[in-house]
Every structure is written in structure tokens, then in C-alpha cells.
Amino acid sequence: MRNPAAIAAPKGVSPELPDHDAGRPTRAPGEARPVTARTAFLLLAMVVVLWGINWPIMKVGVAAIPPLWFGVLRLAIGALVLFLVLIATGRFTAPARGDLSIVASVGLLQMAGFLGLVNVALLHVGAGRSAVLAYTTPLWVVPGAALFLGERATAPKLVGVALGLAGIAMLFSPAAVDWSSGEAMLGNALLMIAAVLWAIAILHVRGHRWRLTPLQLAPWQLLIGLPLLAAIALWVEGVPRIQWSGAVIAILVYNGALATALCYWAAVTVTRALPAVTTSLSLLCVPVVGLLSSALSLGEPLEPPLLLGCGLILAGAALVNLADQRRL
């Protein structure tokens, strides 16, 4: 998945990848230089694959671990790994006063909120379908940016939103979802709410002036989301009962260390080395990989309404991203 642990993006950048350098002419103290283009493309391919195949992995994970506690453990592992990385590379520092608001909004909305809702939704919705609905986020950013940031909703953006909404309508049609199933409708609704929470975080990032780099703030954002998600998990699910096994531990390590910490570092690195349009459009491959890997590993059917809805949503998101690049 996009990973829900990846930070929302400022103007013209993929929702997963904030281009911190676009808003600041100099690098922060200790910030590494961009990698070569070849290395960046390899990292980008790695991120797409690791985030994409994580959707069926998460589906298996929430069947073995209560979904909210699964999110708590993922945030904890990801924060620990990122803190260790920053300490080892000499880039560890406490958030600047001016960054506290972005730490709070991204940590609570995108880290805790998005991840918690997605994990619960995966109990009732297929992993591939969940990946597609989660990537509707760019569509909700367009009206929000027009209302709250004064950004003009250009014709290409409006066409992109219309295509995306048509895709969502297709995914919610009687041919694609069982309207008589309360659990199915709940899961789909939670995914849409999660996408909106992510969009709200993006809107805040677009108007925020970053003092530290996204990588330096990421473990703090994961950390601040922990108490809220843990409190909700304790209230809703109680004390977790987990049947520990090698597979369960591997799923947690994959989600915390790889899909969260490693992919977040790689995503930020790629953003600094490649054009924003390249990363934005390439990361739209994540739900495609999620859809295909879920079909291969979990046997989820690739039905025509799902494929058509996916195509319309991704086409709309791509058009919105391209319109953003032309505006910059």
C-alpha cells in the first residue's frame, strides 16, 4: 500500500512523497545528497513492489492479529527502525517548534487514522479492492485545495476528478459490491473515510513550511500516532490475544521495517532525485501491483467492474497529478 506510513505531499508531488526541497532552497543540516538517477529508479521500483505486495500481506496479518493492534505494532516497529537510522546517520533531532503542527496532523490523521481504518476495512474487503480505493486520495485533494488553499480547479483536474468518481461509482455498483452485506458496505466506507483523512493531511502539508526534512520528522509522526491508536485498540479490541508464529513475526517485520521504515526512506530519497511527475505517476502502479498480487496470492477474482473502476480511478489520479506538474 502507500503506504499509510508515508507522508502526505506538498504541491505537485505524489501524496506519498513530500518534496521538502521544493519549498526550501538549502538542505537541512546532515541531510544526505540526492542519489544518482539509476539508483533512484531502482529504489522507486522497490517501493512500488514492496508497497504493492503488502496489501495481501496486510490482509493475512489482520486475520492473525486484531487489526488495530496490528497497526499499533507496525507504527512502533517503524518508529524504532527510523529512529535508529537517524541516530546512526547523525540526522536525529527533535522536531522544530514550527514543525509540531505537521507532526501532529500527519501522525494522527495519516499514520493512526488512515492505518487503523484500512486495517479494519481489510477484515471485510478484498486486499486488491482496498488498494484501489485507498488510492482515491488525490481526487479528494482537488476540491479541498480549491476551498482551503485557493488553488484553482483547472479543467484537467476537474476531468481527472470526474474520471475518478466514475471509477468509484463503478466499484460501488451492485455488480461490484453486495449492497445487502453490512460488513462489505462498512469496509468500503472505512476505506473512503481513510482516503479523505489522508487528503486532509496532504492539504496541511501543502500549506506548511518545513523546518526539518520529512525523513527526520517521520519517526516522530509514527510515535505521536501510537498513543491514540493504542487507546482505541484497547477500547475496541481489548487486550490483544495473538497466536505468535514465525509467519506472524515475519508479517510484522515486513510491515514495520520494510513497508514502513525502509520504504519511507527510499520514497524520500527518490523524491529528491527524480522529477515529481515521475514519482507521482510511478507510484500509481502500487494499487495495480496490489490488485495483481492479491489475485495471485489470495485468489481474489479480477472481475470486469473492479478492473474498469480501477482503470478509471488511476486515470483520474494520473490526470490530477499531471495537472499539478504543469502548474508548477
With H, G, I as helix, E, B as strand and everything else as coil, classify residue 265. Answer: helix
pLDDT at res. 23: 37
**pLDDT (tens digit, 9 = 90+) per residue, 243-300?**
899 999 999 999 999 999 999 888 878 877 777 667 778 888 999 999 999 999 999 9
Distance CA 138, CA 316 (A): 9
Whether 70 is in a domain gets the answer yes
Whether 12 is in a domain gets the answer no
Q: What b/e sequence results for 221-252 when a residue is b if at least 16 CB atoms lie within 10 Å of its CB, and e otherwise?
A: bbbbbbebbbebbeeebeeeeeeeeeebeebb
With H, G, I as helix, E, B as strand and everything else as coil, classify residue 225. Answer: helix
Residue 147 CB: number of other CB atoms within 10 A?
11
Q: How would you class 93 by CB atoms within 10 Å of its CB: exposed for 0-12, middle for 13-18, buried for 19 or more?
A: middle
CA distances from 43 to 90, 223, 243 (A): 22, 25, 34
pLDDT at res. 17: 38
Among left, alpha and beta (phi > 0; psi -120 to 50; other), residue 30 is left
Whether 306 is in a domain gets the answer yes
- Report percent pLDDT > 70 for the chain: 88
Whether 234 is in a domain gets the answer yes
| Mean pLDDT, all residues of the chain | 85
Does 4 have pLDDT greater than 50? Answer: no
Q: How far is CA 195 from the centre of its chain?
A: 9
Residue 46 CB: number of other CB atoms within 10 A?
16
Whether 94 is in a domain gets the answer no
Count: domains in the chain: 1
Binned at pLDDT 50, 70 and 90, residue 122 comes out as very high
**pLDDT (tens digit, 9 = 90+) per residue, 58-103?**
999 999 999 999 999 999 999 999 999 999 999 999 999 999 999 9
> Which is more confidently placed, 1 or 52?
52
Whether 48 is in a domain gets the answer yes
Cell of 279: 514519482
pLDDT at res. 324: 65
pLDDT at res. 3: 46
Does 6 have pLDDT greater than 50? Answer: no
Model-level pTM?
0.85
pLDDT at res. 5: 39
Whether 247 is in a domain gets the answer yes
Does 41 have pLDDT greater than 80? Answer: yes
pLDDT at res. 15: 38
> Which is more confidently placed, 325 or 144?
144
Binned at pLDDT 50, 70 and 90, residue 201 comes out as confident
Q: How would you class 25 by CB atoms within 10 Å of its CB: exposed for 0-12, middle for 13-18, buried for 19 or more?
A: exposed
DSSP string, 73-90: HHHHHHHHHHHHHHHHTT
Distance CA 326, CA 212 (A): 27
| 3-state helix vs strand vs coil in the chain, percent to 5 | 75, 0, 25
8 Å CB contact between 161 and 228:
no
Whether 15 is in a domain gets the answer no
> Which is more confidently placed, 76 or 9?
76
Range of the domain at 122: 35-88+99-327
Cell of 114: 488512515
Q: How would you class 90 by CB atoms within 10 Å of its CB: exposed for 0-12, middle for 13-18, buried for 19 or more?
A: exposed
